[in-house]
Amino acid sequence: MNKSYMIGYRFQIRVKKHLESKGYMCIVQPRSAFPDIVAWRSEFSGFDILLVECKVNKYLSKEEKQRMIDLIESERCSSFLVAYRKKRKMKFQEYNDLNGKFYEVLITTKDGVYPIFKEDKNEKTKPNR
C-alpha cells in the first residue's frame, strides 16, 4: 500500500472512533467510496444520520461537491460533514445549503477538538473559556 493511502485510512479510522465516542454507530465505506463514513444514532424524533467525507487536505473536488449536494437535496441524511486535519487536530465542516458554503462545526477544549451537532444548524455557539 502506498503512503498517502495509509495516511488517509488512518485518518478515517480516527474520525470513526471519534464519532463512536459521541454515541454514533459508524460504517467505513470500502475502497474509498463516497462518502467515507456513514454514521447514525437513534434520537427521540427518529435517526440522526451523518455522511462524513474525510480529507487530509480539506478540499472536495467539483464532482464530490455535486454528489454531496445531490445527497443533501434528496434528504437522505441529517448532515454532510467534511472531516479534515489542521496541524494534527481533527476538525469538521458542515455544508450550509442556504448559502451554498461550508462552515466550521467544532469546539476546542484542552482535551481536543469536538464537533457540535445541533438540531438547529443556523445556531452558532462559542465555547466557554
Residues in the chain, overall count: 129
pLDDT at 16 over 50: yes
Distance CA 103, CA 96 (A): 7
Q: Which of 3-7, 15-19, 70-74 has the highest mean pLDDT?
A: 15-19
Question: What backbone torsions phi and psi does residue 64 show, to the nearest 5 degrees?
Answer: -65, -40
Instruction: Give me the long-range contacts of 19-26 (CB less than 8 A, separation at least 24).
Output: 19/50, 19/52, 22/114, 22/115, 22/117, 24/48, 24/50
User: Is the N-terminal amide bond of 35 cis, ω within 30° of 0?
Assistant: yes
Domain limits, the chain: 3-114
What is the structure's pLDDT at 12?
92
Q: pTM score > 0.85 for this model?
A: no
**Architecture in CATH of 3-114:** 3-Layer(aba) Sandwich (3.40)
pLDDT in tens, 52-108: 999 888 888 889 888 888 888 887 777 888 888 888 788 888 876 555 666 666 544
